[in-house]
Structure 1
Amino acid sequence: MNVTLTTSVYTSSLVEALKHPPPERGVSLFWLGQAGFVLRTAKHCIVIDPYLSDSLAEKYRGRPLPHQRMMAAPIRAETLSGVTHVLVTHHHSDHLDGATLTPMLAVSPDASLVLPRAATALAMERIPLLDCSRLISVNAGETHHLASDLTLHVVRASHETLEQDDAGNFRFLGYVIDIGGVRIFHSGDTIPFEGQVAELAKLNIDAALLPVNGRSESLRAQGVPGNMTAEEAVRLCAECNIRYMIAHHYGLFEFNTVNPAMLDAMAAKHTHPVLQRARLHTRYQLEPPTSAEKSE
């Protein structure tokens, strides 16, 4: 029997929702907007690519592509406490945001910051007074045992290109997170690339969190690299035998989003993978099979 995914709407604040972790096995997922997620288990609170500030609106004020929020952040960074690990997939500011990570790490002093080795120096610049002992720098092809019940498999990502620094460290990464009896893949920002399916299929992924805002020549010309389309993301899951997919990286910036109705229409007709679009105020619950179910 396979891992199951159920969803429920919560009416409380996200702060309150995070106070109620799942039982011993299983993972609760919450969307933060853009590529950001919280993974909550009985023992861990993992935050991935959080962008909870308006730093990009300030940076791009008066320029051709204003980064004004289409949705408010569902939680303030300084109230997201109890975090055990923060995972950052790459250096772009909607993923590695100093205005978010500085207060978040301050209220969770025991949290580790996992990030690409290629982005370590930049992280130290963006997060003042960050203690180096809290950093876990990683590169594609590595496996890191972050806790007795938490393993991270690091894979490549291609934010239109497979970029490496002078030391050969990949600038864009994805993470396969083995936790709570399930395997969750956060691709980071990526398009399909040669070798991607072979790299992922062997990892037996249960659920994938994939960007679906696509890409265009006009945005690329303005320095905005793109991601997979929804169709490409669904195809990747099918080719890698990933049962569940949650579509994200939409709805934050008007110049770089897709129509939610299109995602809903796709979700209505897809059964492999089972497709859902990320929504605020929603708990996505992944449950592994019990011992009895495994033996059936």
Structure 2
Amino acid sequence: MNRRRLLALLAAGATATATATGAFALSPRNRYYSGPPAHNFDGTRFFNPGGAAPRGFGDLLKWQTGGNRATWPEGIAIRPVKPAPRVDDLTITMVGHATLLIQVAGLNLLTDPVWSLRASPFSFAGPRRATAPGIRFEHLPKIDAVLLTHNHYDHLDTGTLQRLHGTHDPLVITPLGNDTIVRDAVPQMRVQTGNWGDTLALANATVHFEPCHHWSARGTRDRSMALWSAFVIDTPAGRIHHIGDTGFDQGRPYRHLPDKHGPIRAAILPVGAYEPRWFMRDQHQNPAEAVEGFLLSGARHAVGHHWGTFQLTDEARDAPLTALSDALRSKGIDAARFRPLAPGEAWEIPA
């Protein structure tokens, strides 16, 4: 294996961007979080109750050397947008990958903000942007809060968090353990954490921490030592269900939502980074599973994300769009209800 290929492989494993393997070695000490065992925490690591554990390094090697990776186009042209300062109702704008601007009932929220060129701990290796961000950083409206779902490098980008702190000073809302990572990089950043089932008040909204089926890692010795989470944001303009990454897990991230929260106006669901299925199935749902989850949740509309910005897995860049269209058609769902937004697209969600 040549040096360039080895560096790329290490970047893929260390960043944990969209792979389902956890670590090259395991450490007995959790430096991110210390707390008593709980329904999803064994005293050292978090886990998915009744779910599947991340795959090991041997499977990562098998996948990375399999040679079935599609070729993506480079330098895809987009037209960035400049959002309004505030929105009274609900507008969702795609920045790229899992970064979206949610403007709802006067609040401006960012999910998993990444404006960096690479989703990687390295400046010279790892997944590189295929598109520019759909909103230029300097054109962001005042950001009130960041919803940070987990610590993989395509979701938690400390360089972007430093920029946001310097210009917007937002509150970061994130599951247990990720606050240590954020404060190590941005010591003065305001951070609040929660476990699944917890709630936090945010201006005129309530943020609920909800389970999803995933894992976490920043390097080779910290697998699942910080928690991952979905969110339900309850606002005067309706409820929003946001998942950064999840496996379908027999529908468990979705089944409880109607009874617990009632009607959901908009779901923001991952639809990309899912091939090969033998490797990705447990941790990354595919578009057909995203549609199943959409139906189980009872959401009225959905935004598809986690596709088309960083090439993390084997499928072609546009494959999620075709697969989502086919899945919606097979279920008799109007495609206007579930839109995979491209960078720079904004959607005023119907009431």
Please confirm whether the aligned pair reaches a TM-score higher than 0.5, indicating the same fold.
yes
2:104 equivalent to 1:33: no
Instruction: Indicate the SS of the match to 1:56.
Output: coil
Give how far 1:61 is off.
3.3
2:113 equivalent to 1:50: yes
**Could you tell me which amino acid in structure 2 is paired with residue 114 of structure 1?**
I
Structure 1 residues 97-146: Cα deviation after superposition (integer angstroms, max 9, x where no partner): 0111110121113x21111122111111233x324xx2111111112221
Q: Percent identity?
A: 23
Give how far 1:282 is off.
2.1
**Partner Cα separation in structure 1 for residue 142 and residue 123 of structure 2:** 32
**Partner Cα separation in structure 2 for residue 170 and residue 156 of structure 1:** 14
**Aligned pairs for 1:107-126 within 5 A:** 107-109=167-169, 111-126=170-185
**Partner Cα separation in structure 2 for residue 89 and residue 158 of structure 1:** 12
**Partner Cα separation in structure 1 for residue 134 and residue 254 of structure 2:** 33
Q: Which has the higher strand share?
A: 1
Structure 1 residues 187-243: Cα deviation after superposition (integer angstroms, max 9, x where no partner): 1210122533333232222221111122436766xxx98411000010111122222
Q: Residues 70 and 12 (structure 1 numbering): CA distance in 2 closer, same or farther, change over 3 Å?
A: closer
Give how far 1:184 is off.
0.9
2:239 equivalent to 1:183: yes
Q: Residues 42 and 135 (structure 1 numbering): CA distance in 2 closer, same or farther, change over 3 Å?
A: same
Q: Residues 55 and 277 (structure 1 numbering): CA distance in 2 closer, same or farther, change over 3 Å?
A: closer
Q: Residues 225 and 177 (structure 1 numbering): CA distance in 2 closer, same or farther, change over 3 Å?
A: same
Q: Residues 93 and 126 (structure 1 numbering): CA distance in 2 closer, same or farther, change over 3 Å?
A: farther
2:150·2:228 contact (CA, 8 Å) conserved in 1? Answer: yes
Question: TM-score, structure 1 length as denominator?
Answer: 0.76
**Long gaps (5+) in structure 1:** 1-10, 289-296
Match of 1:263 in 2: 324
Question: TM-score, structure 2 length as denominator?
Answer: 0.65
Match of 2:60 in 1: none
**Aligned pairs for 1:104-183 within 5 A:** 104-109=164-169, 111-127=170-186, 129-131=187-189, 134-147=190-203, 149-159=204-214, 171-183=227-239
Match of 2:83 in 1: 17
Q: 1:200 aligns with which of 239, 242, 257?
A: 257
Match of 1:250 in 2: 307
**Partner Cα separation in structure 2 for residue 239 and residue 37 of structure 1:** 23
Match of 2:344 in 1: 281
Instruction: Indicate the SS of the match to 1:101.
Output: helix
Match of 2:14 in 1: none
Equivalent pairs, count:
258
2:83 equivalent to 1:83: no
**Partner Cα separation in structure 2 for residue 28 and residue 155 of structure 1:** 22
Q: CA RMSD in A?
A: 3.0
Q: 1:100 aligns with which of 152, 155, 160?
A: 160
2:114 equivalent to 1:73: no
Give how far 1:84 is off.
0.6
**Partner Cα separation in structure 1 for residue 104 and residue 300 of structure 2:** 21
1:79·1:104 contact (CA, 8 Å) conserved in 2? Answer: no
2:271·2:290 contact (CA, 8 Å) conserved in 1? Answer: yes
Give how far 1:95 is off.
1.1
Q: Residues 67 and 85 (structure 1 numbering): CA distance in 2 closer, same or farther, change over 3 Å?
A: same
Q: Residues 160 and 107 (structure 1 numbering): CA distance in 2 closer, same or farther, change over 3 Å?
A: closer
**Partner Cα separation in structure 1 for residue 328 and residue 179 of structure 2:** 38
Q: Residues 159 and 60 (structure 1 numbering): CA distance in 2 closer, same or farther, change over 3 Å?
A: farther
**Partner Cα separation in structure 2 for residue 212 and residue 124 of structure 1:** 30
